[in-house]
């Protein structure tokens, strides 16, 4: 005999599924917020704009150059200082590759040691650092 105060199997399964959806939603929200914050950074924007305005990259993957969703690496900011080591995919109508940006921020100014594009199909690399001017 079932106790009327005891949850049924259906109610337990519904509760577990609800909690699973909540946890997945929270995790997804956290990941999205982190990616959005990195994409809003000056280091990311410098890498993306350098790729978009580089003739060699346009020749390799076509134009327009668009960013993919994912960003890998880290950015650490504390007031007027910080550091970045990030990579992100970009693609054009004729191919795709990855942009890699490494830099340090001191007194509010970014100094980049690496800004490169690597073509996925044959590991060809384009140095974007001279374009950044730093």
Same domain? For 52 and 33 the reply is: no
Average pLDDT over residues 112-132: 92
Statement to judge: residues 82 and 128 lie in one domain = yes
pLDDT range class, residue 1, cuts 50, 70, 90: low
pLDDT of 50 reads 96
Q: Is the pTM value of this prediction over 0.95?
A: no
Give strand ranges (E) for the chain.
Answer: 66-67, 72-78, 81-92, 95-106, 109-119, 125-127
Domain with 100 in it? 42-132
Q: What average pLDDT does the chain have?
A: 93
Domain co-membership, 32 together with 53:
no
Same-domain status, 50 and 108: yes
Indicate if 112 and 50 belong to the same structural domain.
yes
Pair 109, 51 in one domain: yes
Is the domain of 52 the same as that of 36? no
> Domain total for the chain?
2
pLDDT tens digit sequence for 28-84: 999 999 899 999 999 999 999 999 999 999 999 999 999 999 999 999 999 999 999
Closest by alpha carbon to 104, among 78, 67, 70? 78
At residue 88, the pLDDT reads 98
């Amino acid at each position: 005999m079932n106790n009327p105060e005891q949850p049924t199997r259906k109610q337990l399964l519904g509760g577990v599924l609800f909690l699973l959806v909540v946890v997945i939603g929270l995790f997804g929200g956290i990941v999205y917020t982190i990616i959005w914050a990195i994409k809003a950074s000056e280091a990311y924007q410098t890498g993306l704009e350098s790729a978009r305005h580089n003739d060699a990259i346009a020749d390799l993957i076509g134009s327009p150059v668009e960013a993919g969703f994912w960003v890998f690496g880290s950015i650490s900011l504390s007031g007027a200082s910080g550091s970045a080591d990030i990579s992100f995919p970009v693609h054009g109508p004729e191919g795709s590759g990855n942009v890699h940006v490494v830099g340090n921020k001191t007194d509010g100014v970014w100094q980049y040691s690496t800004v490169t594009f690597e073509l996925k199909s044959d590991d060809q690399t384009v140095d974007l650092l001279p374009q950044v001017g730093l």
